[in-house]
Amino acid sequence: MDKRVFDKLDEIVIRFNDLEESLSSKEVVSDHKKSSELAKSMTSLEPIVEKYREYQKLSLELSELEKEKYDDEDMSLLVEEEKQKLKKDLENLDRDLQLMLLPKDKNDEKNVIVEIRAGAGGEEAAIFVSDIFRMYQRYITELGWRIEPLNFNEASSGGFKEVVFMVKGKGVYSKMKFESGVHRVQRIPKTESSGRIHTSTITVAVLPEADDVSIHVDPKDIQVDVYRSSGAGGQSVNTTDSAVRITHFPTGLVVTCQDERSQIKNREKAMKILKTKLYDLEEEKKRKEIDDSRKLQVGRGDRSEKVRTYNYPQGRVTDHRINLTLHKLDAIMNGDMKDLIDSLMSFEQAEKLKQGI
């Protein structure tokens, strides 16, 4: 492990010990707000401190074993096996600690708004939007997250031209962020009589939810229109002017919401989408300011990038960013996305370690 890493870890241990001491002082105990802040800081450091202490403990054990000399051959073999095991454990701890020291993506713990839109391929693309939405629904449910519908624009095929929804839960963005981009499907459409394979595309955008305090929208900069909802809905959804469209003049952004029967609720949701889109624009500006040589290959959310192909005749899914092909299309379309997401997360971590970000 690099000396700079050891220095950083020693600093964290000192900081952790100081926090522990401060939390037991009378001044802090009597100040609930201060106590809560210090406890939160201490909790965030605790996993690193525990891992580092384990590393130090195993390092000491290895050092002691290195000093041991045995005439007995069987004992020497046992000691050698133990030394190799300790070295392997230390290698794993070394990597874990370096990953824990990497700067966290400030958005990783946030909820997200996901937008899925049909691209090339007409009705087949719209059907694939509904397929991908169903895949995400199952994946999200499996992780114990919650979906909140925001907007659905149905196509005549029974699919969707557009689906917009929010996902709420712990660490949602850290996993869902890899879904942004162009998703391509290769299969024989139900309407294809000659059995010819078609290629269609959809786009997915995953936007970290904006905090109300981080984005301010001047009422003078927007126009709010109400209109009658279209498509499927509950009783009265299509009979009242409950749908809301908000136009943001400075950016030209237009967002709509018609999921709720209440115009007020649809307006609240539409404003949430608008703020999230404005936040994403600000984040994109910051991302472009980063030197190209330090950009990661995944997790940037470039919506023009072809990220994945779903090939039905071959039963495979290929993620083009990391050259990963899995021959388990049925399982993935049923929400079993763990191998895909874990591989992308591991790749991103490896890139960060390589670049020292």
DSSP symbols for 103-153 = PPPTTTTS-EEEEEEE-TTHHHHHHHHHHHHHHHHHHHHHTT-EEEEEEEE
Q: How confident is the model at residue 240 (pLDDT cuts 50, 70, 90)?
A: low
Kindly tell me the burial class for residue 168, based on how many C-beta atoms sit within 10 Å of its own C-beta (0-12, 13-18, 19 or more). Answer: middle
Render the burial of 227-260: b for 16+ CB within 10 Å, e for the rest. Answer: eebeeebeeebbeeebbbbbbbeeeeeebbbbbb
Show the 3-state SS of 67-109: HCCCCCHHHHHHHHHHHHHHHHHHHHHHHHHHHHHCCCCCCCC
Between 81 and 351, the higher pLDDT residue: 81
Calculate the average pLDDT of the chain: 85
List residues bridging with 310 in a β-sheet.
185, 317
Tell me: pLDDT of 236 over 50: no
Top-ranked range on mean pLDDT: pick from 74-88, 210-224, 342-356 = 74-88
Contact 124, 189 (CB under 8 A): yes
pLDDT in tens, 284-300: 776 665 444 344 445 44
Tell me: pLDDT of 135 over 90: yes
Q: How confident is the model at residue 157 (pLDDT cuts 50, 70, 90)?
A: confident
pLDDT in tens, 115-127: 999 998 889 999 9
140: left (phi over 0), alpha (psi -120 to 50) or beta: alpha
9-13, 47-51, 255-259, 287-291: the lowest-pLDDT one: 287-291
Amino acid at the residue 122:
G
pLDDT at residue 292, rounded to an integer: 47
Tell me: pLDDT of 158 over 90: no
Tell me: pLDDT of 112 over 70: yes
Tell me: pLDDT of 226 over 50: yes
Tell me: pLDDT of 2 over 80: no
* CA 196/CA 24 separation, integer angstroms: 72
CA distances 17 to 48, 72, 109, Å, are 13, 44, 26
What average pLDDT does this structure show over 190-207?
Answer: 86
* CA 139/CA 131 separation, integer angstroms: 13
Kindly tell me the burial class for residue 347, based on how many C-beta atoms sit within 10 Å of its own C-beta (0-12, 13-18, 19 or more). Answer: buried
pLDDT at residue 264, rounded to an integer: 85
pLDDT at residue 303, rounded to an integer: 52
* CA 298/CA 174 separation, integer angstroms: 12
Give the other-Cβ count within 10 Å of 158's Cβ. 10
Tell me: pLDDT of 193 over 90: no
DSSP SS3 for 323: coil
pTM of the model as a whole: 0.70
161-165, 193-197, 204-208: the lowest-pLDDT one: 193-197
pLDDT in tens, 43-87: 889 999 999 999 999 999 999 998 888 778 888 888 899 999 999
Give the other-Cβ count within 10 Å of 198's Cβ. 16
Tell me: pLDDT of 189 over 90: no
What average pLDDT does this structure show over 21-29?
Answer: 83
pLDDT at residue 164, rounded to an integer: 93
pLDDT in tens, 300-310: 444 567 899 99
Tell me: pLDDT of 176 over 50: yes
Contact 300, 347 (CB under 8 A): no
Beta strands in the chain (DSSP E): 112-118, 146-154, 160-168, 181-187, 198-208, 222-227, 243-248, 253-257, 306-311, 316-319, 324-326
